[in-house]
Amino acid sequence: MRVLHVGAEIHPFVKTGGLADVIGALPAALRRCGADARVLLPGLPALLAVQREARRVGTVQPPWQAHGGARAELLEGTLDAPTLADVPVILLRHDALYARAGTPYGDGSGHAFIDNHRRFALLGLAASRLAEGLDAQWAPDVVHGHDWHAGLACAYLAFARRAAKSRAASVFTIHNLAFQGLFTRGDFNELGLPPEAWSLEGLEFHGQLSFMKAALHYADRITTVSPTYAREIQGVELGSGLDGLLRGRSAHVSGVLNGVDDAVWDPAADASIAARFGVRRMAGKAACKAALQDECGLEVRDSAPLFSAVSRLTEQKGLQLVVEVVDELVARGGQLVVLGSGDAALEAAFRAAAARHPRQVTLRQGYDEALSHRVFAGSDVTLVPSRFEPCGLTQMYALRYGSLPLVRRTGGLADTVVDCTIEDLADGRATGFMFERFEADDLRRALRRAFTLWRRPREWRAVRQRGMEQHFGWDEAARRYLALYEQALATIA
């Protein structure tokens, strides 16, 4: 089976969140399962710089300049990374659209590019053109789009099928429904789609153009990145205004839990950490903790439980709850390392906490991939108090590195962590700590249970070992996606 993944970022070269980890790992897992999986990405400078043995596949005419102007070029090669060595990657090169500083979505100040509707419409159109046979050597049976940036691929492909130009199926994965790719009615006129696409049964969403809605309406199969999130988004609270559409398509909606790339996240082979360790030889964990405390200017003390948060500092991630309890955490003898950036008020609050407790709390602003490995390896507890969390990879990385996750019961967090209740401790199932309501008092109660377990070293070690033994590899997810692809193809046969 030939599968084309369409997205905006890929680990390790372009990353703003977990989406990059998925696109960097899932296609390789599918290839291990026998599928011919490839990836289509915007031709960002960071990707063009590491593409090897590029083959010119063809060109795509931007629909807003149908009678002239620069055409986009499709280049297929591989990216210079061991984890991607066997994955063909197609880059859509159009320098006027993609050769810019900043993230894939906006400038360095956090402002979205004003022509993002063009930048990501062209990506979707290129996916459809490949499914229509643009490349004489290879065409996908399935186009698999990821998040709103690839949403129009499903729409373009649906209309190509109606015109008998393609027989490919489409699968679309929601990584975060809250980000929907909303633009104006005037922007729709530049997309080259037929007028009928602008309707309630199409791309129109409360008078705006929605790339996300395009995918949810036209995709043959819809997936999310955890089973719990697949149920949550069909309700009003987390449906972001699209819950009615999702309920109407519930027979085609399912959740497939994300995985962890064992080649990247393995404490027994990680060159980024102070000392390597594993389930059966844990001495290196203590060395990693001491090294992290020293690196972050904290008191080097093994007896202090070291809490961490590796996260974007946004309302979704719930770090405002941590701000409310940080003084109590320190008063109980704990320490805290925060790695991340985002909301200015949250950044200021953590800087103030670090000033109040200079040897117990630290904020490392920004994102540092190697440091994130050291934080997971050196910390005892990883805080993930999200308001909502489609899947979350942070808690999976934490489990792998022996840092017990403390999470809110939502989305993928609920699917991957077993709370340290009396019953689950007795049954040998517990792997972390969980709280229910998005309130500081609920987080405080979970923190108290973490400190109580910390004072019972034998039980703590048993829970830590059980967490490290959890397996969230990509191969099982790949097999589930292959089954979904077969279902999608059967639907349109």
**Which tens digit of pLDDT belongs to each residue from 255-298?**
999 999 888 899 999 999 999 999 999 999 999 999 999 999 99
d(CA 75, CA 92): 7
pLDDT over threshold 90, residue 388: yes
* Residue 263 pLDDT: 85
* Residue 68 pLDDT: 72
Distances (CA, A) of 319 to 308, 345, 396, 434: 11, 11, 18, 15
Percent of the chain with pLDDT over 90: 93
Q: pLDDT digit string (tens) for 322-337?
A: 999 999 999 999 999 9
pLDDT over threshold 80, residue 67: no
Q: pLDDT digit string (tens) for 12-57?
A: 999 988 899 999 999 999 999 999 999 999 999 999 999 999 999 9
Q: Taking the CA atoms of the chain, what radius of gyration do you get in angstroms?
A: 23
> Do β-strands 142-146 and 169-174 pair in parallel, antiparallel, or remain unpaired?
parallel
The whole-model pTM stands at 0.91
* Residue 432 pLDDT: 98
Domain boundaries, the chain: 2-259+474-492, 283-468
Q: Which two tokens stand for residue 165?
A: 């130009």
* Residue 492 pLDDT: 86
Name residue 340's beta-bridge partners: 365
Overall average pLDDT of the 469-474 stretch: 91
pLDDT over threshold 80, residue 110: no
Q: How far is CA 57 from the centre of its chain?
A: 29
pLDDT over threshold 90, residue 228: yes
Query: In 3D, which of 147, 119, 145, 100 has the Cα closest to residue 60?
Result: 119
Q: What are phi and psi of 252, to 5 degrees?
A: -110, 10
* Residue 69 pLDDT: 80
Residue showing tokens 């972001």:
240
Domain 2-259+474-492 and domain 283-468 have a common topology: yes
CA terminus-to-terminus distance, the chain: 15
* Residue 280 pLDDT: 92
* Residue 365 pLDDT: 93
Q: Average pLDDT, whole number, for the chain?
A: 96
Overall average pLDDT of the 390-402 stretch: 95
* Residue 457 pLDDT: 97
10 Å CB burial of residue 63 (0-12, 13-18, 19+) is middle
d(CA 317, CA 388): 7
Percent of the chain with pLDDT over 70: 100
Q: What are phi and psi of 127, to 5 degrees?
A: -60, -45
* Residue 366 pLDDT: 87
Containing H/E element for 338?
strand 335-340
Q: Which two tokens stand for residue 279?
A: 């389930």
Superfamily (CATH) of domain 283-468: Glycogen Phosphorylase B; (3.40.50.2000)
Residue showing tokens 């710089």:
49
* Residue 261 pLDDT: 87
* Residue 137 pLDDT: 95
- Which CATH number describes the domain made up of 2-259+474-492? 3.40.50.2000
* Residue 140 pLDDT: 98
Q: pLDDT digit string (tens) for 172-208?
A: 999 999 999 999 999 999 999 999 999 999 999 999 9
* Residue 475 pLDDT: 92
Cis-peptide, bond into residue 12, ω within 30° of zero: yes
Residue showing tokens 């990506």:
123
Name residue 319's beta-bridge partners: none
d(CA 464, CA 279): 9
Q: Which two tokens stand for residue 489?
A: 């193809």
In the sheet where 51-60 sits, what is the strand order?
51-60, 72-79, 89-93, 36-42, 2-6, 142-146, 169-174, 221-224, 253-255
Cis-peptide, bond into residue 140, ω within 30° of zero: no
Residue showing tokens 């680990």:
11
Q: pLDDT digit string (tens) for 73-89?
A: 999 999 999 889 899 99
DSSP SS3 for 12:
coil
